[in-house]
Structure formats: structure tokens, C-alpha cells
Amino acid sequence: MLKVKNISDIYNMSVYTDDGSFFGIVEESMIADNKISGWKIKSTKGSVLSKMLGGAKGVIVPHQLVKAIDNVMLISKAAIPSIEEDENTEDQ
């Protein structure tokens, strides 16, 4: 059976990666052409985002990387920003 949720019910929901890491909190949804295109995830203390991004406030996760939404939002681990790219650009 398909569960239907209002978008407003998802705001402030905890977000976890599919490997169980706490990712952040849903802050906002991005809607285009009556479809959800992405989610703005706020970095919070103790989250994977705060450890990787430092002073950044959050990231935008494409809706395609969302695996499930119920009591929490479950996203693909592929949504975690890669630090290796940043380190390579600093070396140059």
C-alpha cells in the first residue's frame, strides 16, 4: 500500500545514508514542474555533513538519491560530497 505524506511533514526530518550514517535535517524541498527535484539538507552538529563540509550550511540532494521516506529520510551514500576532489584542486 502506498503511503502519502505532505511535503510539510518532511521538513525537519532526520536524514540517514543507506549505511546508517546521520546526514542532516531536511530544511526545504525543491519543486519543478509539479515534481520534487531535490531536497535541501541542513548540516547539524554530529552529522556527516558537518564533519566533511566544516562551515557550510548544507547541501542539495537530488530526489533520485532518496531511497525511502517514512519516520526518517533514507538516501544513497552517493549523496555524500567527495573531499578527494577538493584536495586535488588545492594541490594544483
C-alpha cell at 12: 525537519
1 in any annotated domain: no
Percent of the chain at pLDDT above 70?
Answer: 87
pLDDT tens, residue by residue, 37-58 = 999 999 988 888 888 877 778 8
pLDDT tens, residue by residue, 10-20 = 999 999 999 99
66 in any annotated domain: yes
* Dihedral angle of Cα 27, 33, 35, 41, to the nearest 10 degrees: -20
37 in any annotated domain: yes
Closest by Cα among 85, 89, 67 to 76: 67
2 in any annotated domain: no
| Structural domains counted in the chain | 1
57: domain CATH number is 2.30.30.240
- Name the residue type at position 40: K
55 in any annotated domain: yes
5 vs 2, 10, 39, CA distance in Å?
Answer: 10, 8, 15
Residue 66, domain extent: 7-91
